[in-house]
Structure 1
Amino acid sequence: MTKAEKTRQFIIEKSAPIFNTKGISGTVMTDIMEATKLAKGSLYVHFENKEDLSYAAVDHNMQILKDISNKIINKHKTAKGKIIGFLNLFSDPLNHPVFGGCPMLNFGMEADDTSPIIADKVSSMIKEVLQELKEIVDTGIAAGEFKADWDSRKFAVMVFALMEGGNLICRTTKSNAQMKIIVQIIKDEIHRNSL
């Protein structure tokens, strides 16, 4: 990595949590300058404007989310273990594995009407998560862990919607109590479809 590439990466890493916490519209270049200890001119050498930097920050936050999720899922041998691992990872929204909370939820809600580029990034990530959950269930069906008639697509959508909705409820109310109910609902569904 060249010095310029290292500086660019440093700026992204320092600004990503700020964007994820304050939002894109709430983040100002002064925030980035304070976090990086770089002058505004130095920032603009690496990024055309705040919007350009926000795209990189969104990608960075979502990559962190993907890496953490994949690490947990891949630790487990069974499909059931992978799903439970996924649920456990995201069962404490007040201490989300990505600083500032779920970037899909944070950026998706802000960008749906304001930034088609970021909305597309979030949409792609949602589709990836849904596909991965579906494939885990399909693998479990093929391995004889789950009932053959379990609709993996519906389950994936249900898990994603419940977990993201629970994330919103818990972070807004400052309590994880509702997520415990949501996780139990999903675990009951897994149990009903297990062999």
Structure 2
Amino acid sequence: MREGDAGLTKGEATRLFILEQAAPIFNRRGYTACSIQELMDATGLEKGGIYRHFLNKEELAVEAFRYALSKSVKTRTERLEGIPNAVDKLKRAVSVFVETPSVIDGGCVLMNTAIDSDDGNPRLRELALEALNGWQNRLAKIVIAGMRAGEIRSGVKPRQLANTIIATLEGALMMSRLQRTQSALRDAQTTLNGVLEGVRCPKSR
């Protein structure tokens, strides 16, 4: 049993190990293109050893996405709690997205899964949609809390602002990946910082 797996049974530790190895492969290759042989090579397990813990490839892909998403969300939210002002919290969320590499090899888990599953795997598409909704809700809650605290101007539409942040970041990420430069992400950060300063309540400056 590996360090950090204390408290897990041998079966639980093996299952976690499979997810750790499978998540970046699915994230890079997609559900359809990923072969069981690649998973066997990555884990050192035979097909039966993998499917002892997962019913089939689809279940493994679903659980690998959940594992990858939880790691990504934790990375992008753990630095926000200590920031008191809602606008500054949103700016930090933007900064973390732009400046912190994906914790799962292959890039943004949500973007990759949304594209890969759009016409291929209904369950993964459903989970990607849930993840998007969760992201929207987390940002919208920060906006609502900021409005109640007098930190964000009244009249701001929480979901609209959340959608603007997400769409700008994900679009810039796609451009940055194609161009292999951070320029689009940096431009998006500058633009979003301006938008967020624009919704800041003057008395909270």
Give TM-score, length-normalised by structure 1: 0.94
Q: Conserved in 1, the CA contact under 8 Å of 2:76 and 2:96?
A: yes
Aligned pairs for 1:19-38 within 5 A: 19-38=26-45
CA distance in 2, matches of 1:108, 1:86: 21
Runs of 4+, deviation exceeding 3 Å: none
Match of 2:79 in 1: 72
Q: What percentage of aligned pairs have identical amino acids?
A: 26
Count of residue correspondences:
194
Q: CA RMSD in A?
A: 1.4
Per-residue deviation at 1:22?
A: 1.5
Q: Give the structure with the higher percent helix.
A: 1
Q: Deviations over 1:92-144 (max 9, x none)?
A: 48x33432111110000010111110001010111111011111011111111
Corresponding residue SS for 1:96: coil
Q: How many angstroms apart in 2 are the aligned matches of 1:78 and 1:123?
A: 29
Residue 83 of structure 2 is aligned to residue 47 of structure 1? no
Q: Give the residue type in structure 2 aligned to 1:140.
A: G
Alignment match, 2:18: 11
Cα distance in 2, alignment partners of residues 155 and 36 from structure 1? 42
Residue 130 of structure 2 aligns with which residue?
124
In structure 1, stretches of 5+ residues that fail to align are none
Q: Indicate which of 139, 156, 161 corresponds to 2:167.
A: 161
Look up the equivalent residue of 2:195 and give its one-letter code: E
- Cα deviation, residue 74, structure 1: 1.8
Q: Is the 8 A contact 1:76 1:82 kept in 2?
A: yes
Among 78, 101, 112, the residue aligned to 2:107 = 101
Residue of structure 1 equivalent to 2:155: 149
Q: Unaligned stretches of 5+ in structure 2? A: 1-7
Corresponding residue to 2:188 among 169, 182, 188: 182
1:61-110, Cα deviation, whole Å (9 max, x unpaired) = 111111112202223222122111111111148x3343211111000001
